[in-house]
Structure 1
Amino acid sequence: MAWNLLHGEYHGGDQVRSVKLQNLRREFEYMRMRENEPLTAYLTRLNELINQMKTFGEVLSNERLVQKVLISLSKMYDPICLVIENTKSLETIELHEVIAILKSQEQRFEMHNVDSAEKAFASFSVNEKHQNKNSTHSGSAKSQKHWQSKNKSWDSGSKPQQVGAAQSSNGQNSCIKKD
């Protein structure tokens, strides 16, 4: 009797279960990976939804799940999805195989992003010889650094000014502290 009471409370009657399942199906159909969402976060969201659907009695075939994953990924994954669709049989490939392929592709994306960031900053060096070594700075004012590219000169035309420095009424520079 307690089981029936709990079952009725959490699952509701047949009509309530049918409505909940219909809403979950709709959510499943419209679910898409967000543009900057990591693959693992999207797969977690999708898995939670699938588990809710299974709780209400929905049976999804492996082929349907593979298709859902492949069509709902962000644009960045289109090339790898095309390769999977053209080289594998969607009827026989397991979902965990597709996920493994996608995760390895995500690692390649991350590796290339790290490499490009390192390359972008590798061509810069800090040149501190233009600083006035005798000057003292108070408060939050930092020493000014002159960035120069290796083997390239900067054509800025004007000298960079120190942030936070202002001309006082007596003609001397003073530091302004901003909160």
Structure 2
Amino acid sequence: MYNTRISTTISPKHAAILKKHAKEHGTQQKVLELALETFDRKASPEPTLSPEEVFILRVWKEKVGCMIDKELFSVLIKTADLKENEAWFNANKMYMAFGLELLYQKPFKELSLREILDGLVFLSKTGNWFNRYTYSDEGDHYTLWIYHNFGLNGSRYLLIMIENIFNSCGAKYTSSVSEKTLFVKIFK
């Protein structure tokens, strides 16, 4: 490795700054190299955040969410008192709707059924709640599939949450659950 010699003049103001930082970093050469590296880092593009990361930052900023270990979440769901939770969801009908309002930045009542379904898929990916959460358009209805590891009680718990959101928007639906899956047919 070899060094390249440069020669330049700088203003008295910048000479004072260079001198001050040379005391801190040892040499003027070191200060200039650090300054150039910093300048180069700032000039390179910042990595862009995914929509999920942007939403997580918004939830964090609003202080409306919390992180929980997925295994602990599974235990909590499997051992939950479904009657008590169903009563809570019925009393707080807009709980799931709030997440959608935060995502879309508009009132829940203004969301289309498609936006609600897209939003639920987005929120589930962001929260890393399920193994798979998707829906398809079947013409006269949508079919929503949720695959998870929370057991039958977990499916029932998830159904309470899903029914809450579809009841809140006035959608007609049918549903069935098993130990690892939840299927919901939502009519347009």
Aligning the two structures, in what range does the TM-score lie when normalised by the shorter sequence? under 0.3
- In the superposition, the TM-score normalised over structure 2's length comes to 0.24
Is the strand fraction higher in 1 or 2? Answer: 2
- Higher RCO (C-alpha under 8 Å, 6+ residues apart): 2
Highest Rg: 1 or 2?
Answer: 1
- In the superposition, the TM-score normalised over structure 1's length comes to 0.25
